[in-house]
Amino acid sequence: MTLRPGYPAASSPGAGPAAGGQPASAPGQPGGAPSVLYSPGTLFSWAELQAMASDGVLTQLSQRGYLPPGAASTPQLRARAAACTIPPPIRQRVVAGRMTAAWIYGCAGEPDRTALLVDANRRVSSLRATRGCTFHEVRLGPFDVVSLGGLMVSSPLRTAVDIALHVDAERAVPALGAFLAAPELNVRLRLLIRAVEATPRLPYRRSALAKLAALLPEQDRGTVPDC
């Protein structure tokens, strides 16, 4: 790619981790070159990346991630971009979840703050001072977490359940609709309803079922229990 005059030339794809400001590669189109993610660090500053984006040399993927023009945004690249917002010492201790995971899966816009899940067996108090992130102490089962782009992310079903339970309806319903409309995520409405019903009795389970009922065909909405 052609860089704006006065900027150092980018090194080859995969030269280093995105969080360090180096280009990080991720699988691109079959048979094509890998996509590259740039983030602020030692190679380019945030101001330089923003300037290149304004000149059309790069396109902005996220708050801290930039792509070459025409590069396809993928869940792997969005996960790498999310990882750039998490300090390296804690990346292996947390799981991207809720609306951050929905963004990674392509079902919502990027949230202002990175939502991170921390297993209840781990200490969360030492993490709360991390800027730009929110932490949620939860219990995670063996099928609740997947690895994408080197980051642990809540599975599509676990993400949808958490959004139904914990996110306001204005943001939750469109995101849940996007999950249901993406066959590759394998989230089915009836399964999602059963998963919410199976959660321990919580004060917000009723509102979660109401959000899910809004996604049913009108003639079926009375089939979802109230509690």
Q: pLDDT tens-digit profile of 129-165?
A: 677 889 999 999 989 999 999 999 999 999 999 999 9
Is residue 8's pLDDT more than 70? Answer: no
Look up the pTM and report it: 0.81
3-class secondary structure for the chain? CCCCCCCCCCCCCCCCCHHHCCCEEECCCCCCCCEEEECCCCCCCHHHHHHHHHCCCCEEEECCEEECCCCCCCHHHHHHHHHCCCCHHHHHHCEECHHHHHHHCCCCCCCCCEEEEEECCCCCHHHCCCCCEEEEEECCCCCCEEEECCEEEECHHHHHHHHHHHCCHHHHHHHHHHHHCCHHHCCCHHHHHHHHHCCCCCCCHHHHHHHHHCCCCHHHHHHCCCC
Average pLDDT, the chain: 82
